Chain A
């Protein structure tokens, strides 16, 4: 409606004229250039036929039959907005095409340029990576050496070069060997230190000596040395004997702790801190009640006496209560 309201009469007249002319040439294509179509070129079957102006209609005479209509607005060589449609024209009957331009897309040239740029970028990155690896490899980095070998073999980042690949392969192998030797030496030194460490737990020392013997036999981290291996075997036997002795001692300690005769026997080591070599375990030389006076327990003599009496009674009470016929009950119920 808007379009009709503003359409000048002359235009309408011209349209009628064209229509008459088109009728004579068989058909007309009416291209309606809609919003944001300024300067878009209209191609009919690949031939530039007109140029869009926003809000205008372009009438293009065409022969009856099928036609491809392209409306293209260029954004440089690599990008464009392209509207494409196929129409079928009939004689004496105009075909209307409403054109709205889509989003900008890459042209074929643009696609090609992008690919070329990507390849160039990749090659540059590969080259940079190679150069970085080469620098690192030159500084002894084994993984970088492996990468350099791979680059020279595959030609990635650098031209293929079998000689250089071989060279760096040897370098990597040598570096690996050196690294392994260093690791072995470190393990050997650690085992030696642990084996010599008299403060270390016996079992750890024995394990270290086992390793040490193997290292001397295999030449691991050190030169093969049968004499040293044998010496350490002897040492291991000694330590194993010591370990077994420790176990016996531990068992004995348990048993000694179980010496029953008096509770003070077990507390004796504590008691004797001031006694020196000649001290004795027999702290019962002092009656407990008297000893308590020294500790100055805040209790009275009367309480000591009461406690003493009750304790004396208590030690046989269980038997008297549970088994009145027992000898303890007989002895203490009198």
Chain B
């Protein structure tokens, strides 16, 4: 605390602190006492201190004279203690735009500065403001009293939403991630996000960290669409919430490189270990706190990320490349790439970058390559286009292999070729998985879910365990799904995180079977039901194909 306050103390001393001179005798709180003691130790004249102030703070605990009151008295006369433009920008990272604008910046500043000065764990709960104050008053932020890890809520189609705790010290690098369609970096607007390179527990070697792709996470701003039809007007002029969302890297990898035929470019940012720790904590706070307004042209994934980096990375603001700001994600990425902030060399040689984990090209060419290799061995009609392959039924695909003696012989002899055949089946499986997701989306869109759960609950009245399972694993997550995600003011407390009970705990096969039977009886005989059954049969057959090829 002493080290942290010295520059601030000097500011106060230079400013004269005249407002304290006329203060009536009053006692101060025990927490504020420590800070005044620092002032006293630093040589502040007695006129700056509350009357009756004693070094050991005895006899002053019950008084209402607080540091906040002193700051309030001091603040109007001393610019160094007033909010600067950057404070407003920092506030905007954490608070909804309306409250950031409406709230009196001075009072917010006084409140936060007081808390910053008074509470040892302030930086743990509010790392963004703590970072701001530290930079402004040339302090160092101390996280030693904080939990070792910070929580992120990660979205994954496979595993559902889940809280993942990340130790900032396990982050070896922070990358700016850019996805773009086509070969050229700037062939489209693309999208930007941050990628945290999370090391395996207890390991810090770069290679181990880089290879730990399963644990890497991606944080990106995106709009939260909350109505039946996406409204482009709101997309442009505002109306959709923007969140800093968290994803597993593999979710982003799969979505981009397979489903979207995009390439991912991952550009390391030049940050010290201390900066990384600070930024990861700050990102976690923004992740839980920021509920902004997503606007396609002016407040998008690129601009919001720029705003965030500008406040969180001290060197960002002084970089000429980045000073102007960019609306388009591709241009923003290009600017960062050419700035001193990033290590752009890693992307100079893309094959090398792919080896090193800085470039993740679309995997569609790989699947096409597999198809071509198989076609070279086929004596019967080849599948000309990759897109044609999933159009065939699983049975037709397998029969095409089994009926072709030349291909069959080649597959039996050549494992690489056999893997190519498996690869194509996996390609189909991945597409079917996605189709399932969309089917579920359609189901939710058409179903009266509340009524559905009421009916299911009625059928489970005699099975309390199954009823509880259904409510916990299905109904509550769905209610969460259909309601606004709670916002935390600062880093979330454990009680807050209870709301994010992970749905992945619900894997009891027996209970799931019961639930499935109950819902099967409730599901109306619809086109969706027919399509579901057909798709399920195809998935089952595709799995069978894979087993056969194995």
Contacts and interface: CB of A to CB of B under 8 A. Distances in A.
B449 A274 contact: yes
Contacts of A281: 224-226
Interface string A233-269: 0000000000000001110110111111111110111
Contacts of A300: 513
A282 interface: yes
A321 to B, nearest CB: 5
Interface string A264-291: 1101111111110111111111111111
Interface string B305-349: 000000000000000000000000000000000000000000000
Interface string B353-393: 01111001001011101100000000000000000000000
Interface in B516-531: 516, 519-520, 522-523, 528-529
Contact of A260 (B256, B356, B422, B445): B256
A311 B481 contact: no
A327 B512 contact: no
Interface residues of A, number: 76
B238 interface: no
Contact of A284 (B156, B252, B297, B419): B156
A306 B509 CA distance: 13
A261 B422 contact: no
Contact of B159 (A268, A270, A287, A306): A287
B228 A315 contact: no
Contacts of A325: 354-355
Contacts of B297: 252
A139 interface: no
A271 B229 CA distance: 10
Nearest to A323: B354
B112 interface: no
A292 interface: yes
A2 interface: no
B220 interface: yes
A284 B433 CA distance: 13
Interface in B135-159: 155-159
B436 A292 contact: yes
Given A255-B189, A269-B230, A297-B536, A287 B160 contact: yes
A300 B520 CA distance: 12
B182 interface: no
A311 B191 contact: no
Nearest to B547: A306
A118 to B, nearest CB: 80
A31 to B, nearest CB: 101
A88 interface: no
B34 interface: no
Nearest to B358: A327
B444 A271 contact: yes
B97 interface: no
A21 interface: no
A34 interface: no
Contacts of B360: 327-328
B250 A315 contact: yes
Interface stretch (B6-14, B19-27, B470-478): B470-478
A312 B251 CA distance: 10
A261 B252 contact: yes
A271 B506 contact: no
A307 B429 contact: yes
Interface string B220-260: 10111111111011011000000001010011111110111
B31 interface: no
Given A308-B158, A327-B213, A317 B422 contact: yes
Given A315-B253, A319-B363, A293 B519 contact: yes
A318 B225 CA distance: 33
A4 interface: no
Contacts of A264: 157, 437, 441
A298 B528 CA distance: 12
Sort A-B residue pairs by CB-CB distance and give the 9 closest, nearest first: A327-B357, A314-B426, A287-B160, A267-B441, A322-B366, A296-B520, A249-B232, A285-B161, A318-B363
Given A268-B441, A284-B157, A286-B478, 4 more contacts: A252-B232, A267-B441, A268-B230, A327-B356
Interface of A: 248-250, 252-253, 255-265, 267-275, 277-303, 306-308, 310-319, 321-323, 325-328, 330-332, 334
7 contacts: A265-B225, A267-B441, A279-B227, A287-B158, A287-B503, A319-B366, A330-B211
